[in-house]
Structure 1
Amino acid sequence: MSRIDHRFSVLRQEGRAALVTFITAGDPDFNTSLAALKALPEAGADIIEIGMPFTDPMADGPAIQLAAQRALKSGQTLARTLELVRAFRKDNADTPVILMGYYNPIYIYGVDRFLVDAKAAGVDGFIVVDLPPEEDSELCLPSLKAGLAFIRLATPTTDDKRLPTVLANTSGFVYYVSITGVTGTAVPDFDAVAGSVARIKRHTDLPVVVGFGVRTGEHAAAIARGADGVVVGSAIVETLRQSLDADGQATKQTVPAIAALVKELADGIRSVAKKGT
């Protein structure tokens, strides 16, 4: 059983949703990014998404765009992102780690080499937002063959006709994008999200997690009532940014600020857990 499958199995026994947290690799520097990664599980994160910095993150709003710029400025590369995962794995063998981003850096790195190196580093799967199902031969199918999950996005515009195509080679979980637009720019309609999650579940046995727009423990609790997981990215990245000094460097408040928000989010999700379900 993969780390992702095992984690969702444990959470089902606990009767609660997963907290999936996102940070951008190398933001604002490698060492701070590593310290933040290590703090996430301790604060309550169940699964970690690590953003692969890219110059043109088309699905992301201002917070994550700026995080990518800070990371690239500090010298973060895809190779150093894999190094970050390896360093995290020295102290944490259990928390699932998913790399999220865009295909261009992977293509430049070389798909075969990337899959070998990612698996060796301790990566569990990928979310690559600009590779549709029609391009599964590029990365999705090779990832599955290598034993790595390939997590697909479904959106409010993914209708029942399109959904089977989206789900065909999806593994790990389904990521439901709760808003039409880029990350971190709007608060989702929680009732509409619950209905959409239920619709997706009629097509798959995979866990369905919800992201885009979740900012507070209250938001997380509202989503957790109907979903198998809640993804929070922009709010964490923005909390990091607000902790930086005037030169954009980390301060002694950076990691504690991230941990405090993650604890709030985790507490929100746990507040609606149903023991024994």
Structure 2
Amino acid sequence: MSETGRIARRFAALKAEGRAGLVTFITAGDPDHETCRAVLEGLPEAGADLIELGMPFTDPMADGPAIQAAGLRALKAGAKTKRVLELVADFRAKDQDTPVILMGYYNPIYSYGVERFLADAKAAGVDGLIVVDLPPEEDEELCIPALKAGVNFVRLATPTSDDARLPAVLKNTSGFVYYVSVAGITGAASASDAAVAEAVARLKRHTDLPVAVGFGIKSPEQAAAVARVADAAVVGSAIVSRVAANLGEDGVPKPRLVPDVLGFVRQLAAGVRGART
């Protein structure tokens, strides 16, 4: 499954092009369902190669202030797991090629029901899951059922994932490996280029899966630096912050929100695509 799905096909195409990919993260339902859908549907044309869609949760312990605030905005606007899946289904009706990975926490999935969630996610067109609070020791909870359902399970590796720990981290990982380049929450300071290059090389010694690097990438220049050594650069907090910057004091989206966010993604994509030329 992991070698024939959209994620594998996209990374194979990127490799054939001789470039890294851009993975963009937005929070589902932020700042409201319709605005989020407009951003989501515009991401591929703006240059996103893969899309991570955050599932809003009331206790996002791994997320920094920007993504926490986005999740709260989405929940206030009525975001629920069912509506997240509706966003994916609407997107998939117009785009059959761009991989979509749901990122979040186990509680909403558990509450929805694992078997039901996986069936509905697969039917909606979800390609992968990143569930940040399920370690490898809990693979039977969701990871193994996801793989059996034909949904990639993308694992996080961190600077503290040493050579002794990595085999467990990577055992059931599929799609790609998401390397968190700095310890701590999303939106933190960036790791040095040398540290990222060293980490990617170490991961490559343990797996043949593509390695995407995220956390702390805020500019096209930083995205380009990562794209020179990794298979993809992941940008989340900087995009989510762009959404927040286009809200009025009442939280209502300004008319420029969608074009401004997509314009920023175009800049990031240009940085990534020109990184190895």
Determine the structure 2 residue equivalent to 1:246.
249
User: TM-score of the superposition, structure 2-length normalised?
Assistant: 0.98
In terms of mean alpha carbon deviation, does 85-94 or 45-54 score higher? Answer: 85-94
* 1:221 corresponds to 2:224: yes
Structure 2 residue identity aligned to 1:11: L
CA drift of 1:273 comes to 3.2
* 1:154 corresponds to 2:157: yes
Determine the structure 2 residue equivalent to 1:88.
91
Structure 1 contact 14–273 (Cα < 8 Å) conserved:
no
In terms of mean alpha carbon deviation, does 41-50 or 182-191 score higher? Answer: 182-191
Match of residue 35, structure 1, among 32, 35, 38: 38
Structure 1 contact 55–68 (Cα < 8 Å) conserved:
yes
Determine the structure 2 residue equivalent to 1:77.
80
Q: Deviations over 1:218-250 (max 9, x none)?
A: 000000111000000000000000011111111
Find the residue that maps to 2:206 and give its secondary structure: coil
* 1:141 corresponds to 2:144: yes
* 1:68 corresponds to 2:68: no
Structure 1 contact 49–98 (Cα < 8 Å) conserved:
yes
Q: For structure 1, which runs of at least 5 residues remain unmatched after alignment? A: none
Tell me, in whole angstroms, the C-alpha distance in 2 between the residues paired with 1:181 and 1:264: 26
User: How many correspondences in the alignment?
Assistant: 274
Structure 1 residue identity aligned to 2:115: D
Tell me, in whole angstroms, the C-alpha distance in 1 between the residues paired with 2:193 and 2:183: 14
* 1:200 corresponds to 2:200: no
Tell me, in whole angstroms, the C-alpha distance in 1 between the residues paired with 2:264 and 2:239: 7
Q: Deviations over 1:74-132 (max 9, x none)?
A: 00000100001011111111100000000000000000000000000000010000000
Structure 2 residue identity aligned to 1:227: A
Structure 2 residue identity aligned to 1:122: G
User: TM-score of the superposition, structure 1-length normalised?
Assistant: 0.98
Structure 1 contact 85–123 (Cα < 8 Å) conserved:
yes
In terms of mean alpha carbon deviation, does 5-14 or 244-253 score higher? Answer: 244-253
Tell me, in whole angstroms, the C-alpha distance in 2 between the residues paired with 1:91 and 1:273: 31
Determine the structure 2 residue equivalent to 1:235.
238
* 1:178 corresponds to 2:178: no
Find the residue that maps to 2:178 and give its secondary structure: strand
* 1:121 corresponds to 2:124: yes
Tell me, in whole angstroms, the C-alpha distance in 2 between the residues paired with 1:188 and 1:248: 33
CA drift of 1:153 comes to 0.3
Determine the structure 2 residue equivalent to 1:267.
270
Tell me, in whole angstroms, the C-alpha distance in 2 between the residues paired with 1:260 and 1:240: 12
CA drift of 1:62 comes to 0.2
Q: Deviations over 1:121-160 (max 9, x none)?
A: 0000100000000000000000000011000000000000
Structure 1 contact 25–76 (Cα < 8 Å) conserved:
yes
Determine the structure 1 residue equivalent to 2:23.
20
Structure 2 residue identity aligned to 1:231: V
Structure 2 residue identity aligned to 1:20: V
Match of residue 100, structure 1, among 87, 91, 103: 103
Identity %: 65
In terms of mean alpha carbon deviation, does 265-274 or 71-80 score higher? Answer: 265-274
Determine the structure 1 residue equivalent to 2:133.
130
Tell me, in whole angstroms, the C-alpha distance in 2 between the residues paired with 1:68 and 1:272: 32
Structure 1 residue identity aligned to 2:252: Q
